[in-house]
Amino acid sequence: MSPTAAKKTKLEGEVFYPNPETLTGTHVPDWEAQAAQASKDLTGYWARRAEELEWVRKWDTVLDESKKPFYQWFVGGKVNIVQNCLDRHVKTWRRNKLALIWEGEPGDQRTFSYHALNREVNKFANVLRAMGIKKGDRVTIYLPRIPEIVIAMLACAKIGAVHSVVYGGFSVESLHGRILDSHSKLAITADGGWLNGKIVKLKDILDEALQRSPSVEHVIVVKRTGQEICMDPERDLWYHDLMMLPIASPKCETEVMDAEDPLYILYTSGTTGKPKAILHTHGGYMVGIYATLHDVFDIRDEDRWWCTADPGWVTGHSYMVYVPLLNGATSFLYEGAPSYPYPNRWWQMIEKYDITILYTAPTAIRGLMRFGEAWPNRHDISSLRLLGSVGEPINPEAWKWYHRVIGKERCPIMDTWWQTETGMFMITPTPSVPLKPGSGTRPYFGALKPGSGTRPYFGAAAEIVDEAGKPVPDGEEGFLVLLKPWPAMLRGIYGDPDRYVKQYWSKYPGKYLTGDSAKRDKDGYFWIIGRVDDVIKVSGYRLGTAEIESALVSHPAVAEAAAIGLPHEVKGTAIHTFVILRSGYSPSLELMDELRNHVGHEMGPIAKPEEIKFVDSLPKTRSGKIMRRVLKARAQGLPEGDVSTLED
C-alpha cells in the first residue's frame, strides 16, 4: 500500500472506515465505554463533564426533574458562560493565543488574542452597563459577520443581559416582530455589511423596523461599510465613540449567574404562527456544547476551527461564538459570500489561514460543487483534518464530493444532527477508529455512511415512533423523538410556557418531539428524512410556512396564500407558493415579481419564493385549515394520501 493510500479512508460499499492514522490520539479513546457510562448514569456522566469547566459555586443537583418537562440542570450552581469563554483563559498562557481570526469580504483582516478579545468585551460590557442595561434585560443584535457581533454577544452575556440576535439576512417585518416580542431596550447594528460585493443596509432596515417597535430606547451603530446613514441624535450612538469614553474601561466584573439564568433567546420557526423565542441558559448549555466540540471535533490547541454559520442562527451561536472559546480554541470568521469574488474564496482562505476543521452546511457544499473541483484543486487545503456538516440531510453525492475533493479521502465527515432547541449535537458520528460492523453484537462507532448522522451522542437517547408513539421496526420511517433530557436543552419558549409543553411534549408525553421524520437501519444508524411539520429548510435556513404566507397576505393584492417546500438541487428545499388574489387584481408577471420582492422586503432575501402560482382555491379541511400536504403531493405528482377531511 502506498503511504498516501494508507492515510485514506477505506471504502466498502457505502460504509467508510476512517483510517487509524488520521485519528491517533483523539480526545475520546473509547466511545463505547463512554456511551455506556452516560447511558447507565446520565447525571453522573454530566457532572463529570461539568467539572471540566470552572464554576463560581458548584451545583447541588445535577438534574431536577420535579417540574418536568421544565427540566433544570446544575441547580444551585453559579457560573457565567463568559467566565469559561474568556476569564478562565486570560489567567493562563492562552491569553496570548489567537481567539479569533477574521476576514472581511473586501479582504481586510483583524485578529484577536484571548487577551484582546477579553479587553474589547470588557469595554463594551462597561458601555452597556453605563447605558443602564442590567441582568435580565433583552438586547437585540442585528449585525453582519464582523468581530463586533461576537463582542456584543459576549458583552451581553458577561453582564447577564439576554441577547436576541436577529440574522442580518432578515428584513423589516421579521426584525420588527422579534424586537417587539422580546421587548428589547437596546439594539446593536452596523451601517452595513458586505455580501457579494454589495452593501446590506442594516441600519436602514432597522430604522424602518423601529418605526413599529417602541420599546427600543437606544441604537448602537458599528461603522463597517462607511456610507452615509441617518443617525437619530436622540436615539443613535456610534460604537467607536462609546468605546473611546472613560466609561469603556477594559476591566469589568463578570456577573455571577445562576446556572439556570437566561443566556439568550433565539427566534426560530415552529409548526404554526410566528417564530418562537427559544430560551437557553448559562449552565447546562455551556456544559453540553463544550463537551460536543471537545469530543466530536476533537478540538486541540493547534487547531484552527472554521464554522461557516452566521452567528444569527443557532449553529453560529453554539459553534461559531461560544463553543470554540469554551474550549480555548482558535476560530475563524468570514464576513461574506462563499463564491465572491470567485468560487475559490473559501479554499483560498483555508489555505491562507491553515484551517484544520471545516464545519459547514450541505447547501454550501452543493453550491460550491457546481463550480467544479478545479477551484479547490488550485489550493493546498491539506491542513484540513476533520470536516463537518449540519442543517439538513446531506445527500450522498455531496457527501462523497466533500469527502473526496475537500477531505482528500483523509478527513472523516461529522454529519451532526441537532436543532435550535437542542442547543448541541444530539446525533453525530465520532472521530474514532471503527470496529467492523458485524464483529459481534456490539454497536460500532466511527464507521461513516454518507447521509447518516450515525448514532446518538453520549447520554442522548433517540427513538423512532409511529403516530401512536410505538417504536417502529428498523428500516421503517417514523417520528424522531428524544427520550432523555440533556444539559443544553431549551428551557422553554420565552414568555409562552404553555406553547413549550404543547409543541414539544404533548404528542407523546415524556418524549421530546423533534418535528423530523427519520429511519434507523439494522446497524442502529439514524437517517434523517426531513421535517414533518410546517417548517421549511431553505439552504439550511429554518423558515415557517406561516411566516411566508403572512408576508404574502400583507400585500394588498393577496387574499389568501399557501407555502410549501419542494426539493431543490442546491437549496435542498425551495419555497413554492400558491396565491388567491383579491378581486380587482389579475395575475401577471409584474405582480409575481412584485410579490416576490414584497416577501423579500418583509422577511429577507432567503424567504423569496422560488415560484408563485395564482390559483382560484386552496385545498382546505372542513375547519378551514390549508392542507399543505395535499398541495405538496399534487405538485410532485404523488398520491394525495388521506383526503377524508378535505372540504369539497
C-alpha cell at 480: 424522531
Cell reading at 439: 464483529
> Which amino acid, one-letter code, is at 371?
F
How far are the Cα atoms of 43, 91, 290, 328 from residue 100, in angstroms, in the given order? 33, 18, 17, 11
From the list 191, 415, 533, 549, which residue makes contact with ligand WTA (rule: CB under 6 A)?
415
Running DSSP on this structure, what letter comes out for residue 318?
I
Rounded to the nearest whole angstrom, what is the least distance from the CB of residue 376 to ligand WTA in the complex?
22
Closer to ligand WTA at the Cβ: 250 or 524? 524
Q: Which is nearer to ligand WTA, 144 or 362 (CB)?
A: 362
Stretch that binds ligand WTA, among 231-239, 411-419, 454-462, 485-493 (CB under 6 A): 411-419
Task: Give the x-and-dash track for 232-271 against ligand WTA (CB under 6 A).
Answer: ------------------------------------x---
DSSP β-ladder status, 78-79 and 98-103 = unpaired
Q: Is 401 in the site for ligand WTA (CB under 6 A)?
A: no
Strand segments (E) across 313-451: 330-334, 357-360, 386-389, 413-415, 427-428
Residue choice 116, 349, 528, 606 for contact with ligand WTA (CB under 6 A): 528
Out of 271, 315, 327, 331, the residue judged to bind ligand WTA by CB under 6 A? 315
Residue identified by cell 476543521 is 357
Nearer to ligand WTA, 62 or 394 (CB): 394
Q: Do 275 and 176 contact (CB within 8 A), yes or no?
A: no
Residue 301 CB neighbour total at 10 angstroms: 11
Amino acid at 465: V
Q: How far is the CB of 611 from ligand WTA (least distance, A)?
A: 22
CB of 428 to ligand WTA, least distance (A): 8
Gyration radius of the chain over CA positions: 24
- The answer to whether the CB of 349 falls within 8 A of the CB of 304 is no
**Residue 122 or residue 539: which is nearer to ligand WTA going by CB?**
539
Site string for ligand WTA, 171-210 (x = CB under 6 A): ----------------------------------------
Residue 393 CB, shortest distance to ligand WTA, in Å, is 4
E strands present in 82-135: 98-103, 109-113
- Closest by CA to 314, choosing from 360, 282, 274, 268, is 268
Q: Which window, 162-170, 181-189, 510-518, 565-573, contacts ligand WTA (CB under 6 A)?
A: 510-518
Long-range contacts of residues 349-352, Cβ cutoff 8 Å, at least 24 apart: 349/103, 350/306, 350/379, 350/381, 350/383, 350/384, 351/379, 351/380, 351/381, 351/383
Site track 538-557 with ligand WTA (rule: CB under 6 A), x = hit = ----x---------------
Choice between 144 and 453, CB closer to ligand WTA? 453
Instruction: Find out whether 488 and 323 touch, Cβ atoms under 8 Å.
Output: no
The C-alpha cell of 431 is what? 472521530
Binding track, positions 100-139, relative to ligand WTA; x by CB under 6 A: ----------------------------------------
CA distances from 570 to 357, 361, 363, 371 (A): 23, 11, 6, 12
Tell me which DSSP letter residue 45 carries.
Answer: H
Task: Scan residues 277-296 and list those touching ligand WTA (CB under 6 A).
Answer: none
Among 55, 297, 347, 417, binds ligand WTA (CB under 6 A): 417
Binding ligand WTA by CB under 6 A: which of 190, 314, 462, 551? 314
What is the DSSP secondary structure assignment for residue 320, as one 8-state letter? I
Measure the CA–CA gap between 429 and 188, rounded to whole angstroms. 37
We find the least distance from the C-beta atom of residue 324 to ligand WTA, in angstroms, to be: 16
Q: Which 446-505 positions form the footprint of ligand WTA (CB under 6 A)?
A: 453
- Using CB under 6 A, which of 345, 537, 596, 598 touches ligand WTA? 537
Distance CA 499, CA 421 (A): 13
Of 295 and 392, nearer to ligand WTA (C-beta) is 392
Cβ atoms within 10 Å of 165's Cβ, excluding its own: 28
Residue written as grid cell 491517533:
24
Q: Which cell goes with 632?
A: 405538496
- Does residue 416 belong to the site contacting ligand WTA (CB under 6 A)? yes
Residue 419 sits in the site that holds ligand WTA (CB under 6 A): yes
| Residue 506 DSSP symbol | T
Q: What is the largest CA-CA distance in the chain?
A: 75
- How many alpha carbons lie under 13 Å from residue 278 in its C-beta half-sphere? 23
- When asked if residue 99 is in the footprint of ligand WTA (CB under 6 A), the reply is no
Interface residue with ligand WTA among 402, 418, 458, 479 (CB under 6 A) is: 418
Mark the segment that binds ligand WTA (CB under 6 A) among 13-21, 137-145, 351-359, 410-418: 410-418
- Provide the residue type at 216 as one letter: V
Residue 468 C-beta: closest distance to ligand WTA, Å: 22
Q: Which H or E element spans position 600?
A: helix 589-602
C-alpha cell, 308: 461557516
Q: 580 - beta bridge partners?
A: 560
> Which listed range, 14-22, 107-115, 253-261, 409-417, lies at the site for ligand WTA (CB under 6 A)?
409-417
Nearer to ligand WTA, 369 or 390 (CB): 390
Taking CB under 6 A as the binding criterion, the range among 192-200, 312-320, 350-358, 588-596 that sits at the site for ligand WTA is 312-320
* Residue closer to ligand WTA, measured from CB, 22 or 389: 389
Taking the least distance from each CB to ligand WTA, the nearer of 281 and 514 is 514
Specify which residues 388 forms β-bridges with: 359, 414
Let me know how many helices (H) and strands (E) the chain has, helices first: 21, 33
Q: How far is the CB of 414 from ligand WTA (least distance, A)?
A: 9
Contact letters (x/-) for ligand WTA, 368-397, by CB under 6 A?
---------------------xxxxx----
Nearest residue (CB) to ligand WTA, 8 versus 519: 519
352: which 3 cell numbers?
A: 491562507
- Minimum distance from residue 537 beta carbon to ligand WTA (Å): 5
Comparison of 146 and 314: residue with beta carbon closer to ligand WTA: 314
DSSP single-letter state for residue 472: P
323 near ligand WTA, judged by CB under 6 A: no
Span near ligand WTA by CB under 6 A; candidates 153-161, 195-203, 339-347, 417-425 = 417-425
- Using the minimum distance from each CB to ligand WTA, give the nearer residue, 240 or 502: 502
Coil, helix or strand at residue 524: coil
Q: Closer CB to ligand WTA, residue 528 or residue 612?
A: 528
CA distance 99 to 333: 11
Q: What residues line the site for ligand WTA (CB under 6 A)? A: 268, 313-315, 389-393, 415-420, 453, 514-516, 528, 531, 537, 542
